[in-house]
């Protein structure tokens, strides 16, 4: 029955492979259960409620994606999107916008997404993008994932003049990262199925032995539903969603919509190419179902109080393990549901390691990259956090995704320069959507200046203008 519904044999996979791939995807995403509530808590969202909302929101939407699209695309509260909600819409001190209103903004963004998908506009935009840009997006996200892994593992660090520098290799958390990466490479060389998964387990064991991780003092934690249905909560005598008529808030919804739209687009194309379900024209079969689930996920994130839920680039980790069907992310979703009960255990693997008084991490601390006090022990003002156990997996998955750029037409500068700009700006701006926007604008501009306007799809022109407006608004 499973084989017939999920087409396991047709896609060259098995129940064991899909289960292993789903577990691997979950382990590379598990950090979100702890990082997301911490970011939302800085804006006044109850931490315990946000933790439950994050885990259950990811569980519901992963299972939905698996059943509706039958693709290995996992979803959870989006990093970057949660920062927009917390620090741009709500505000760190809750001076102007209550957190419930911020979740109402997320709900409206999701509903707008649904309308765009049902109208066919979102799918049309994706199909209008040149193949060179699609490939650059995949490679750029791969480089981005590697950069995140190197940073989270302490292999690189912020530097005042050179921007980045080699990390302190004497630190035990860096050893954990390198041991995890070396284990993945060793298992890959030995052709052991599940090399990334076993590499994660090796990194966990190393972290326990080196004192970077420790066994939790508790196993179970109760669920808290205090953030659910926040958009309809009464704030100052008025439903939170009714306060969204402000032009400032509607502009914020547009900015969130733009970012979420192209983050998802880039992720679907990148993971799709790696999984082999992108055709020669760069189109994704069944794209409308994928986008409809993703759009609905954003709305569910607002309803649950988990920020915007979106498709995750970490899905590539499961694909790298052989995941090819929706069964992969159903397994991921079930593990997220379990995580709602066993968050202390997951914290050991996906949680952060405190770097006491780390002067070379002061930039990260200043940017708000801190772990929640009730997940990890209280930290000093100079402390920062790294995530070494999953870092090796992210580094290797990023490498696997670089395969996409080899087919870019590098000899044609009109095609390759926008692709190059996209590729480098995704990691360097620390934003998938910013990198895509710069690539789109440069592609449109070059074609227009070269008198080749007919080669630019009308939707590409419209989207490029929307990005340009968005960049101008961000700079104000």
CA distance 37 to 223: 13
120-170 per-position pLDDT tens digit: 877 777 678 888 888 888 788 788 888 888 988 889 988 888 888 998 899
Residue 422 CB neighbour total at 10 angstroms: 30
Helix segments in 91-154, DSSP class H: 99-118, 121-128, 131-152
289 neighbors 69 (Cβ within 8 angstroms) = yes
Write out the chain's pLDDT in tens, 476 residues: 788 899 998 899 999 999 999 999 998 888 788 778 867 876 788 878 888 999 999 999 999 999 999 999 999 998 767 877 876 678 643 446 889 999 999 999 999 989 988 998 777 776 788 888 888 887 887 888 888 889 888 899 888 888 889 988 999 999 999 999 999 999 989 988 678 878 888 998 999 999 888 887 777 878 989 999 999 998 888 889 988 877 667 767 776 776 777 778 778 888 888 888 877 666 788 888 999 999 999 999 999 999 999 999 889 889 988 999 999 999 999 999 999 988 677 657 655 676 765 544 444 433 333 333 333 333 333 456 677 887 888 888 888 878 778 888 899 999 999 999 999 998 888 777 788 889 999 999 999 999 998 888 888 898 889 888 878 876 66
| pLDDT tens digits, 188-223 | 899 886 788 788 889 989 999 998 888 877 778 789
CA–CA separation, 122 and 112 (whole Å):
11
pTM over 0.85: no
Strand 384-386 relative to strand 156-159, pairing: unpaired
- The beta-strand segments (E) located in 283-383 are 309-311, 353-355
Q: pLDDT tens across 329-344, in order?
A: 999 999 999 999 886 7
Kind of pairing between the strands at 75-77 and 156-159: unpaired
């Amino acid at each position: 029955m499973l084989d017939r519904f999920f087409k396991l044999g047709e896609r060259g996979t098995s129940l064991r492979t899909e289960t292993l791939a789903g577990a691997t995807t979950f382990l590379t995403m598990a950090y979100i259960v702890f990082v997301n509530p911490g970011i939302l808590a800085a804006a006044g969202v109850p931490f315990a409620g946000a933790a439950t909302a994050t885990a259950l929101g990811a569980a519901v939407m992963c299972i939905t994606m698996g059943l509706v699209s039958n693709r290995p695309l996992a979803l959870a509260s989006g990093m970057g999107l949660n920062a927009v909600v917390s620090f741009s819409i709500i505000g760190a001190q809750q001076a102007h916008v209550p957190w419930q209103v911020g979740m109402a903004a997320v709900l409206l963004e999701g509903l707008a997404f649904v309308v765009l998908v049902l109208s066919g506009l979102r799918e049309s935009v994706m199909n209008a993008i040149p193949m060179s840009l699609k490939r650059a997006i995949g490679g750029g996200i791969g480089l981005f994932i590697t950069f995140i892994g190197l940073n989270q593992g302490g292999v690189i660090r912020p530097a005042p003049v050179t921007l980045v520098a080699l990390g302190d290799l004497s630190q035990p958390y860096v050893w954990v990262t390198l041991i995890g990466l070396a284990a993945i490479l060793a298992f890959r060389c030995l052709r052991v199925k599940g090399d990334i998964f076993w590499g994660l387990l090796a990194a966990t064991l190393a972290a326990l032995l080196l004192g970077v991780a420790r066994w939790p003092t508790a196993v179970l934690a109760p669920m808290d539903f205090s953030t659910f249905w926040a958009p309809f909560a009464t704030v100052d005598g008025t439903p939170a969603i009714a306060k969204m008529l402000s032009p400032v808030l509607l502009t914020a919804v547009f900015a969130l919509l733009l970012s979420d739209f192209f983050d998802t687009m880039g992720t679907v194309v990148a993971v799709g190419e790696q999984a082999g379900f992108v055709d020669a024209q760069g189109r994704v079969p069944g794209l409308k179902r994928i986008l409809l689930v993703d759009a609905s996920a954003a709305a569910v994130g607002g309803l649950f109080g988990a920020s915007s839920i979106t498709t995750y680039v970490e899905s590539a980790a499961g694909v790298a393990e052989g995941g090819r069907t929706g069964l992969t992310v159903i397994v991921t979703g079930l593990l997220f549901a379990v995580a709602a009960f066993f968050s202390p255990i997951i914290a050991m693997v996906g949680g952060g390691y405190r770097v006491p008084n780390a002067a070379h991490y002061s930039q990260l601390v200043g940017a708000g990259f801190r772990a929640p006090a009730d997940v990890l022990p209280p930290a000093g003002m100079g402390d920062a956090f790294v995530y070494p156990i999953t870092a090796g997996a992210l580094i290797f998955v990023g490498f696997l995704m670089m395969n996409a750029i080899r087919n870019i037409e590098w000899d044609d500068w009109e095609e390759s320069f926008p692709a190059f700009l996209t590729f480098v700006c995704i990691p360097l701006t620390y934003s998938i959507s910013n990198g895509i926007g710069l690539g789109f604008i440069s592609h449109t501009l070059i074609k227009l200046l070269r008198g080749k306007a007919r080669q630019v799809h009308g939707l590409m022109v419209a989207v490029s203008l929307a990005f340009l407006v968005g960049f101008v608004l961000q700079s104000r």
